[in-house]
Structure 1
Amino acid sequence: MVKLNLRLAVAGIGLVAASAFAADKVEITVDAQKPGPVINKNVYGQFAEHLGAGIYGGLWVGTDSKIPNTRGWRNDVVGALKSLKVPLVRWPGGCFADEYHWREGIGPRDQRPVKVNTNWGGVEESNAVGTHEFFDLAEMLGADTYINGNLGTGSPQEMAEWLEYMTGESKSTLAEMRRKNGRDKPFKVDYFTIGNEAWGCGGNMTPEHYTNLYKQTAAFLKTPKHNTPKLIASGGTTGHEEWTEYLSANVKPEWSLRMDAISFHFYTLPTNDWKVKGLATGFPEKEWISTFKQTLRMDGFVADAKKTLDKNDPEKKVGFYVDEWGTWYDVEPGTNSGFLYQQNSLRDALVAATNFNIFHKYADRVHMTNIAQMVNVLQAMILTKDDKMILTPTYYAFDLYKPFQDATSLPTNITHNTTYTLGDVSVPGVNASAARGKDGKVYVALVNTNPKEAVEVTVNVAGTKVSGAKGRVLTSQLMDAHNTFEKPDAIKPAPFSASAKDGKLSVKLPAKSVVVVAAE
């Protein structure tokens, strides 16, 4: 057995005994001689909606706050997100977007109208964070911008004027209004979508009705040629997969019409029941395995969409953007049910990594995804409480996968895979992906979904002489290991290294773990 140097900083985790590993090795072949499509950095995109403390309190505290901030944005949270190299932020929603009127979020903040957030908790919306504030955040992060237009209660005119306000270079009234509000240089709008969840909270529409509205609206969304956002159609979700088929078959490029991508939403619920979704912590093992059974459905959804788009768009002009995804549990006891605040555990990190591996597999179509959401909402990167902040296991999953941003995907094949079974439910034991990073190194990502048994994995990087690998591992003794404000470092990545024999890596993958290594 090849010697493996494994140093785990997680409390209570030591070297895994050799007897704990399966007798048969899982074999993974990475073909470094056949590079695939580039994994767009925006596959690691984020989502910030006006929802609970997702923005107010979690990101924005205002310029008068005692919490250290820059122009109202929390320094600690922004610093952590910058370290994560957040590539893109989607704003202002979500369901909130289809009730958001951009003119209410510009000008002096003390003069902006106070509204009621009817979607999320019925709380007051001060409009303190609007267009200028959002772009300020994006520029601090160095992130691309994704604006969600209001189709539900808005109009083509409202969206067209918003784009002119943001991107106009002339002395038009709207461009001059932007300058009066403190921004001389146009904002850079990278992505713009027409509506959100038009099948549901965005208007309860049919694909046919939405497609006609999309065509009408898209015809009027005009910007300077060098500041033209990719235009996204609001697509389907589970049970509404036909939206991808209808949109891609009926929106064809014309001189005044574009559709650069179709969106898709899918959330992982342990129970697959919206009434009782399951606990974020303290859950039984049956909800651990059911969570992975549910999240692995993503592969089928993306595969079906790719098949549809390859048929209707063989030139691959239309992307498939999973612009809402992540785990959705019952809210934490004692919190507002409309704020969608949930704790975040090791399970969430493995769910994120599993989805990353799926997105890498379909990098030719999946050019962007947005986890829901960035701070304090659903599967968040960061949780805050007053002036305190903690990084979640999902944050660390994103951190481990940073080398995959704009990396070149490499074909990856798994043979002799293990199967994790509990009762009548079974899921693949290991999932993986690989890519050549911008630094030239080959990176391999591995997930072991089995919460009890470690596994020995042999990795053959064809076309590359491998003498070892170094990286990091995220694991713990507990399935629901998580950080708290009292113990903010209960779980975090630890160094991980593996040696090689005959050019093949031998990786001892701990139970319930994520490992990302660079081959040497």
Structure 2
Amino acid sequence: MNRKISSMLLAAGLFCPVVASADTVTLRMDQINPEEVIMPEIYGQFAEHLGACIYGGLWVGPESPIPNTQGYRNDVLQALRDLKVPVMRWPGGCFADEYHWRDGIGPAKDRPTQVNNNWGGTIEDNSFGTNEFFNLCELLGCEPYLSGNVGSGSVEELAQWVEYITAEDGPMARLRKENGREKPWKLKYLGVGNESWGCGGNFTPEYYSDVYRRYQTYCREFSGNKLYKIASGASDYDYNWTDIVMKKAHSHMHGISLHYYTVTGWNGSKGSATVFTPEDYYWTLGKCLEIEPVIEKHAAIMDKYDEKKRIGLLVDEWGTWWDVEPGTNPGHLYQQNTMRDAMVAALSLNTFHGLTDRVKMTSIAQIANVLQAMVLTKDDQMV
């Protein structure tokens, strides 16, 4: 073994040399702390009704000439299977707090259209709804993460959505069965609102805490299904939000979210995804690495109210955010990826790996055709 490498490993406490000669080194691995586990959910994905993420990215419909399985495009389906996606968050994002789930069930031809007010004013036909999302998660073998509508919805609406998805019997279960799904799905992760400090309602943390406590009360557990309830957490450096929500609602949650984007632009521009200077490159990596002290400060606040670390911190939106590609809809957030983005992903994941006492899930934004996407599609092509 290279002496420099072995010295580094020894200094890191990764192994102890037991017997050494001129030709061999015998190693004994130190015992790994079983409490320090990198959860598979660290590699989670985020799919929002935004641009071509859902329509054209994941879903083309069963009548499309693009090769598909039950409406899911085959090339993307295989790519995501190869990626082994552990968890997928849907339907937003800002879209979630304007999404009414009953618009996305039943025969596709009977579903109403809606304007996507947050992302470019696109008219959506709601052909991809609850059944389509949960069936996709089954095809991929991943956990669904549902983001519930608190901003423009009601307690009853969210409660009935959980019942529709998970109940064996009752009025919502009968509705699900009428729509072609006999058995309930499993739902573990339930987000109660998204960015409630901003597009999810512009709440104060004091008011959101009370609203969260109310909503989560009526999200019941049916048929042995266990919910992991997640409060809408802070953006970046808003430590006050975390402090107040934890103080007022920590006993009613299993997790709290955090959003952090690597954005380095100025003067109203985030900068080009593909045209940048060495200085831009290093600024980007510097902004990316700031995520570590940000998480540590939020975690320290959580420790005040949850010293046993029962509550997980979920970084359920992260990644790079550049100006859209020229000639594309500004509201669709379509950007190319370069090695710079790959470095941001690597550095971010490496950071998450070291903070697993609190960080239990992360979701890169987003899975297809939006921001730091896993796949890009154009008509019947995909990379």
Fold shared by both chains (TM-score > 0.5): yes
Give the structure 2 partner of residue 77 of structure 1.
Answer: 76
Match of 2:369 among 372, 376, 381: 376
Matched, 1:307 2:318: no
Once the two structures are TM-superposed, the CA of residue 338 in structure 1 deviates from its matched residue by 0.3
Matched position secondary structure for 1:227: coil
Alignment deviations for residues 353-400 of structure 1 (CA, whole Å, 9 cap, x no partner): 10111111110110001000000000000001110000xxxxxxxxxx
Instruction: State the partner residue of 1:495.
Output: none
Runs of 4+ displaced beyond 6 Å: 23-26
Higher helix share: 2
Pair 1:115–1:358, CA change in 2 (3 A): same
Letter in 1 for 2:54: I
Q: Deviations over 1:234-253 (max 9, x none)?
A: 01112422221112111143
Tell me which residue corresponds to 1:130: 129
Q: Which residue among 190, 194, 197 is the counterpart of 1:196? A: 194
- The alpha carbon displacement at 1:33 in A equals 2.7
Give matches, 1:496-507, under 5 Å.
none
Secondary structure of 1:226 counterpart: coil
Alpha-carbon distance change, 219 to 116 in structure 1, aligned in 2, over 3 angstroms:
same
Q: Which amino acid aligns with 2:307?
A: P
Larger strand proportion of the pair: 1
Residue aligned with 2:261, SS: strand
1:103 aligns with 2:102: yes
Pair 1:335 & 2:328 matched: yes
Question: For residue 174 of structure 1, what is the aligned residue in structure 2?
Answer: 172
Structure-2 separation of matches of 1:61 and 1:140 = 16
| Alpha-carbon distance in structure 2 between the residues aligned to 1:25 and 1:210 | 52
- The percentage of aligned residue pairs carrying the same residue is 51
SS in 2 for 1:368: strand
CA contact (8 A) 1:262 1:321 kept: yes
Matched, 1:266 2:260: yes
Q: Distance in 1 between matches of 2:261 and 2:13?
A: 30
Q: CA shift at 1:223, angstroms?
A: 1.8
> Which amino acid counterpart does residue 210 of structure 1 have in structure 2?
Y
- Measure how far apart 1:219 and its partner are: 1.1
State the one-letter code of the partner of 2:108.
Answer: R
Equivalent AA in structure 1 for residue 348 of structure 2: N
Please provide the CA RMSD for this pair: 1.8
Report the count of equivalent residues: 365
Alignment partners' CA distance in 2, 1:328 and 1:298: 15
Render the CA deviation track for 1:122-177: whole Å, top value 9, x for unaligned: 0101100000000111011100010000000001110001001111112x111100
Paired residues for 1:91-490 under 5 Å: 91-170=90-169, 172-224=170-222, 226-253=224-251, 258-271=252-265, 273=266, 275-390=268-383
CA distance in 1, matches of 2:151, 2:114: 17
Residues 158-212 of structure 1 show CA distances to partners (whole Å, capped at 9, x for unaligned) of 0001001111112x11110000100010011110011100111011111001001
The letter of the residue matching 1:41 is P
Give the deviation of 1:269 after TM superposition.
1.1
Unpaired segments ≥5 residues, structure 1: 4-22, 391-520
Maintained 8 Å contact 2:166/2:223: no
Identify if the C-alpha distance between structure 1 residues 288 and 341 changes in structure 2 by more than 3 Å, giving closer, same or farther: same
Separation in 1 of the partners of 2:73 and 2:123?
21
Per-residue CA distance 1:309-350 (angstroms, 9 max, x = gap)? 222101211110000000000100000000000000111111
The AA in structure 1 aligned to 2:47 is: A
Q: Could you state the TM-score of these two structures normalised by the residue count of structure 1?
A: 0.68
Which structure carries more relative contact order (alpha carbon 8 Å, separation 6+)?
A: 1
Cα deviation for residue 228 of structure 1 reads 1.9
Alpha-carbon contact 2:192-2:230 (below 8 Å) kept:
yes
**CA distance in structure 2 between the aligned counterparts of 1:63 and 1:162, rounded to whole angstroms:** 25
Moved more, 180-189 or 307-316: 307-316
Matches within 5 A, 1:57-68: 57-68=56-67
Which residue is equivalent to 2:25? none
Distance 2:241 2:223 in 1: 29
Corresponding residue of 1:423 = none
Q: Which segment is superposed worse, 357-366 or 23-32?
A: 23-32
Task: Check 1:157–1:95 CA distance in 2 against 1; reply closer, same or farther (3 A cut).
Answer: same
Conserved in 2, the CA contact under 8 Å of 1:270 and 1:288? no
Aligned to 2:20: none
